[in-house]
Structure 1
Amino acid sequence: MSGARIGPGTLVLVVGPSGAGKDTLIGLARARLSGEKRVLFARRLVTRAPGAGEAHGTLSEAAFEAECAAGRFPLSWRAHGLGYALGPEVATHLGDGGLVVANGSRASLPQARARFARMKVVLVTAPLELRAARLAQRGRESAPEIAERLSHAPQAEVAPDLVIENVGSPQVGGEALRAFIAAELAHAPARAQD
């Protein structure tokens, strides 16, 4: 990606600690906005094999490093020993004036703020005990790996535009995210028709 800020569309970056339920809320919002062509729910690329509970694209460490070096990702970061990225389709959709919803990282927020012309941050939180139970239930990691994830708590250096405490029914949090996205769409400039 070039040095110009990516836009004019809006990136809604959903961040929060492991086990807070970001993927669940994003999935619920995606289902409720399935007919809205202005919204792209980005599929993260991860240097990990596909696993339960997370729909993501995969790539090798070598491919991740090569794509980062070539500047092909609009946003990339490392966490928990893995590489994460948003693919080029994100920049294309934003360039067309659309809205993109992506699962991101609190640690990448300063980089994202510098890269995107318009960004909104949704912080999803949940108590530690609930996050630990959710991480154990998804079955991707051992107990020591879960403990390491739970101890990793970077501060969000960019203030969130919305905080969702995901402790009750996931439908409540999913609806809060959907309503936030809908409000952003209502304030977005009109796009050229497809």
Structure 2
Amino acid sequence: MFTGIIESLGKIEQLEKEGGNLHISVKSDITSALKIDQSVAHNGVCLTVVSIKDQVYTVTAIEETLEKTSLRTLTTRDKVNLERAMILGSRLDGHIVQGHVDQTAKCINITEKDGSWFFTFEYDPDLNNVTIEKGSITVDGVSLTVVNSNKNSFSVAIIPYTYEHTRFGGYKIGSLVNLEFDVIGKYVARMLELRQ
């Protein structure tokens, strides 16, 4: 489990394909605190640390993960949002995040206003995921509040700190991001679906 509060930006050092798997090596200032078998969210995707060497650690994404997330588009030197698993009993500053990406979305608009930024993302509504106004959404692992909720799009407001300390500062129109919808909302939507 995660909170959606990004700890660090990592840099992709190496990508190595092996069958359907992709080994992702990341250089990060949190590497020294990691252990093998530990879970770390990478742009919102929970992956297991399989090796550590100096300031670089490696995780492996399986084929299904690559198909369902934006990790398939990674290149060396890309930055990734990183968060270690939450500690039970700690303050929950974001919202409950599982690290299980529901689908990807495309950035369709970026507007700067009064020192903050508004990003709008569009996603495929056929997967039956929904947002609600003032509800929670996770974009590339970042816990955010939804504004302008529509059937297949939503916006989020980004403060300067988040813009500078996460991948948001590098997004452009067309950028592909990972979405994890609010877990409570997903259960409610599923229960309503089963009633029909």
TM-score computed with the length of structure 1 as normaliser:
0.24
From the two aligned structures, give the one with the greater strand fraction.
2
Q: Which has the higher contact order (CA 8 A, sep 6+)?
A: 1
Q: Which has the higher helix share?
A: 1
Scaled by the length of structure 2, what TM-score is found?
0.24
